[in-house]
Amino acid sequence: MSEPGLFDGVLAAGGVREAVSDTAWVQAMLDFESALAAALADIGLVERAHADLIATHCRAEFYDVAELARASVQTGNPAAPLVRALSDRVGDGHVHLGATSQDVIDTAAMITTRNAVAVLLDDVRAAARVAASLAREHIDTVQPGRTLLQQALPVTFGFTAAGWLVGLVEAADRLEAVQPALQFGGASGTLAALGDRGVEVAAALARRLDLAEPVLPWHTVRLRVAEPASALGALCGVLGTIARDITLLAQTEIGEVTEEGPPGSGGSSTMPHKHNPVAAVAVLGCAAQAPGLVATLLQAGVQEHQRAAGAWHSEWRPLRELLRTSGSAAHWLRTSLERLRAHPARMRANLASDVFAERITTELTPIVGRQRAHDAVTRCCASGGDLVEALAADPVVGARTSRERLTELSGMDYLGSARHFVERALRRAGE
């Protein structure tokens, strides 16, 4: 693997970076060639000994990635020089039989995507387990609910964490449902070089690689790329939303959560007092890159005839970058949640006294009508004084509701079905 880049510690963190490295891509292409030879032997088109010989030379460490990159300039893709280098080592004419360069790279993309997603999902599922633990622990911890960045009705921190949990579980399920598929069609998609045995070889090859066998080659029908791309983009939306919540709740003026990392984490280069939620910040930096990459991959779906000129090539880097940045975002969210500490006392202290105004409006509605009740309570909220006192003095409210009842309605038990929703979220996640 190449030397880590300056920004990789933040923007390419976690195990996905290695899973999509140059070495990993070369190995995936070689896995295709090895499996193809074995599939040809499975149906009797080549000798098993030839297939075994090819397999012994299908190891990425035998090949110079930099040299493959230089040689790819002549052919327009790195598969062709890799096949030539493999053939030179094997000295056998059965390497790459029936295939074309796009078959190699597309199938390698599917293998690499599958491997990278498996690493990424480990982090997403781990983050979901932490979110479940937070939801369970704080199922009754009252917290201000916020809409349009203003306090709304109270919720619980368990309810907040349950929202994170369901988002993670559903995004992971969607990504897990994507089925990477074999690409194998030869020069024009008909596998003409294999005569009438092409479909048999394709079936054997798909089994060998543990990939879905498509109805026919998908050289210019790029759903197999668009589907994981869309699922990764959606996942990054979930990861970014949770990280945004954490950064907002960790603001000095809010202080409802903090990241408690190892010594030195969250520090500032100039301000000793700072305690930044750096893991959540890193999630946002990674997740923000996903939409543009997804858009590029979707745009590449417009292709022509049996094999495209340029559109297929335009997928290579954005797909790898999307996997890498999504994997990094998942790694950092897991880290952030594992470091997260909730501050229930601060949540309770932050509750504004007027967030229970809706409850009082609801109490008055059967008596004076909804609009009149709403207007009266709004007027009292705007007074700027103690809300209970203002309500008690109001001619509409005070005349119909005792001070004792107003105090009771201003209590912190106006949580609706919050507990039930948390319990449902935990069941959905299997917790």
Tell me the two tokens of residue 16. 């996905």
Of 421, 262, 327, the C-alpha closest to 16 is 327
- Among the options 268, 353, 402, 417, which is catalytic? 268
Say which DSSP state 233 is in: H
- Among the options 146, 208, 307, 339, which is catalytic? 307
Which neighbouring-strand residues pair with 156? 142
Active site residue 307: yes
Place of tokens 């479909």: 199
CA distance 62 to 331: 31
Active site residue 268: yes
SS3 call for 35 = helix
| Cβ-Cβ contacts under 8 Å for 185 (sequence gap 6 or more) | 100, 103, 191, 216, 217, 219
| Contacts made by residues 68-72, CB under 8 angstroms, sequence distance 24+ | 68/26
The C-alpha angle with vertex 374 and arms to 370 and 377, in degrees rounded to 5, equals 140
CA distance 260 to 325: 24
Say which DSSP state 194 is in: G
CA distance 204 to 327: 32
CA distance 222 to 226: 6
**Around Cβ 2, how many Cβ atoms within 10 Å?**
10
Q: Decide: 198 and 98 in contact? Cβ < 8 Å.
A: yes
Element (H, E) at 155: strand 150-156
Catalytic residue list: 268, 307
